[in-house]
Amino acid sequence: MIIGQPSVSVPRQAVGGRAPGEGVRQVPEETAIAFVYDGGSEAVMMATPADLEDMAYGFSLNEGLIGQISDVQRLEIAPGELGIELRLWLTPGLGDKLVARRRHRAGPTGCGLCGIESLADALPGIAPVQSDVQIAASDVMAAMQAMSDKQSLNQLTHGVHAAGFYLPGQGVVLVREDVGRHNALDKLAGALARQGLSARDGAVLMTSRLSVELVQKAAAMGTGLLAAVSAPTALAIRTAEAAGMTLAGIVRADGLEVFTHPGRVLMTKGKNHADR
In the chain, which residue ranges form alpha helices assigned H by DSSP?
Answer: 52-62, 94-105, 119-122, 137-147, 152-157, 181-194, 212-221, 234-243
Q: Read out DSSP for 118-172? A: -HHHHS---PPP-----EEHHHHHHHHHHHGGG-HHHHHHS--EEEEEEETTTEE
Euclidean distance between CA atoms 142 and 254, whole angstroms: 9
CB of 33 closer than 8 Å to CB of 45:
yes
Identify the active-site residue in 46, 78, 99, 111.
Answer: 111
CB of 131 closer than 8 Å to CB of 246:
no
Q: Positive or negative CA dihedral for 120, 89, 52, 276?
A: positive
* Beta carbons within 8 Å of 25's beta carbon, 6+ residues apart: 9, 10, 12
Euclidean distance between CA atoms 198 and 183, whole angstroms: 19
- Residue 114 bears catalytic tag: no
CB of 206 closer than 8 Å to CB of 226:
yes
Give CA torsion, residues 116, 117, 122, 123, to 10 deg: -160
Catalytic residue numbers, as ranges? 111
